[in-house]
Amino acid sequence: MSLNREHFRAIIYYNFQRQLSQQEYLAELLSVFGNESPHQSTISRWYGEFKLGRVSLSDDSRVGAPKQQSPRKTRETYREIEASLNISKTSIQKKLHEESGVRKLKAAKVNWCQRTLDRFNSGNSKNVYSIVSGDESWIYCEEKPTKVIRSRSASKNMVATFVSKAGHIATIPLKEQRTVSSDWYTTICLPKVITELRKINPERRIILHQDNASSHTAQRTRQYLTEENVELLDHPPYSPDISPSDFSTFPKIKNRLRGQRFQSPEEAVDAFKNAVLDVPANEWNKCFENWFERMQIKCLLWCRQRSLWDQEWNSVVFSDESRFCLDMHDGRARVRRRRDERRNPQFFVERHVHHTVGGMVWGAIAYGSRLPLIFIRGNMNAQRYIHEVLEPHILPYLDTLADPTFQQDNARPHHVWDMMGRRLLNLQRPPQTLEALREELVVARNEIPQEDIDHLIRSMPRRVGECVAHQGASTHY
């Protein structure tokens, strides 16, 4: 006999009445049901519900779920196309992506492109000259034929190369080391790059752009960059197509070395360095111009794919996280200013920097409804996101919608966070404890009329249309 959710909830309630601890009860469940037992977060959540006096074991009714169905299905999976057309997945990919030019774009990549375009004025800001882009690549003594698996014993060496809009900065070989570790990256590689950059001007501003390799995102690396006063320009995951090193630097240099044979890895690295130095300055300038053009194209493609959407936006669930603090200030000063006014004293704001008590809040909105706020305690990793957000909240909610689309972090919730923040700022008696802050956040969220949220979602066709009209550049939104 298989048990459903109500059965397990009844067992949880029974053991709650027995006054068993959550750990004791979890151990009992695992010994009886094994992998079929509920997750620890589910047990903890229902223990909390029972402590508050709940006796019902059924799911709460979801008031306000959208009643309007999408007039047509807007998505088809590869399996559905395979079944209906009786063709292979390879043929589908070839016809869609190679012949028809259809592309799949992640919202995280589009969001990053839009933020970066706004930050650097679509590549026209002088701050672009402060960007240093770096990455690692293997350099082989002999070019191998394509589609041949290179053995680990092949004669090769890895190099880390850093370039800017003004030209090449540094190329550092790993020598005997086979992998890039945070230790090598922070003690050998980055110090050489920073020393070279600040050789003339010790106060030079540096904005480092790198991919999401483990050595780049390690806590040790972030701490070192903070100590050296180096700003970090993040990079969207799985996006080598908008990394200058991947689409320009390494292919450009390796093409110059194509067909040559070298006697040793050291000779290959020296040839690579010489080829880098031979690249004229205008080529590096063009590389960064192409980089920002690619960002605009990503934004434009995403919007073009949705330019005909109208009622489809009613089935999209937008989600996002935000941080709220007791003093309603996160230590950052935000101003509106013109270009070249960054150091104008009129835009300086003095504040006492101290640790602010606050917490992360997760929320989701849709046309005609919204999900309750989820307060995140501690750091949110992938496992916690699945077990504490997706499984208990998002998946049941999506089941109530007709052909839903789950959109993670695509700007619409940002306006709702702003509405909540303004309501908290207008409180006569601001909250003094974290628990009081959470209560006020729930009240502020509930006070936002659903019509305001629906208005934001109804504005999506206008926003997408303006992005297409501006060819992916910034809009007035």
**96 lies in some domain:** no
Cβ atoms 419, 322 nearer than 8 A: no
Last residue of a domain, one of 245, 276, 297: 297
Range of the domain at 44: 5-51
**33 lies in some domain:** yes
Number of domains in the chain: 3
Percent of the chain with pLDDT over 70: 74
Mean per-residue pLDDT of the chain: 75
Residues 179 and 261 in one domain: yes
- Token pair 């628990």: residue: 435
Bigger pLDDT: 9 vs 230: 230
**90 lies in some domain:** no
* Band of pLDDT at residue 137, cut at 50, 70 and 90: confident
Q: For the residues 285-298, what does the mean pLDDT come to? A: 79
**Six token digits for residue 190:** 């980055």
Residues 169 and 251 in one domain: yes
The whole-angstrom separation of Cα 422 and Cα 419 is 5
- The reported pLDDT for the residue numbered 187 is 92
Residues 197 and 234 in one domain: yes
Residues 30 and 172 in one domain: no
- The reported pLDDT for the residue numbered 407 is 65
Residues 166 and 226 in one domain: yes
**Six token digits for residue 17:** 């009445």
Residues 178 and 220 in one domain: yes
Residues 278 and 341 in one domain: no
Supply the CATH number for residue 134's domain. Answer: 3.30.420.10
**431 lies in some domain:** yes
Q: For the residues 50-61, what does the mean pLDDT come to? A: 79
pTM surpassing 0.85?
no
**117 lies in some domain:** yes
Residues 282 and 399 in one domain: no
User: What is the residue type of 405?
Assistant: T
DSSP 200: S
Q: For the residues 231-246, what does the mean pLDDT come to? A: 77
Supply the CATH number for residue 46's domain. Answer: 1.10.10
Instruction: Give the pLDDT confidence of 117-132 residue by residue, as tens digits.
Output: 888 887 788 888 888 8
Positive or negative, the Cα torsion across 23, 27, 32, 33? Answer: positive
pLDDT at 304 over 70: no
Residues 343 and 291 in one domain: no
pLDDT at 296 over 60: yes
Q: For the residues 61-86, what does the mean pLDDT come to? A: 60
Residues 265 and 159 in one domain: yes
376 burial level (CB within 10 Å; 0-12, 13-18, 19+): middle
**448 lies in some domain:** yes
Instruction: Give the pLDDT confidence of 359-384 residue by residue, as tens digits.
Output: 788 888 888 888 888 887 777 777 77
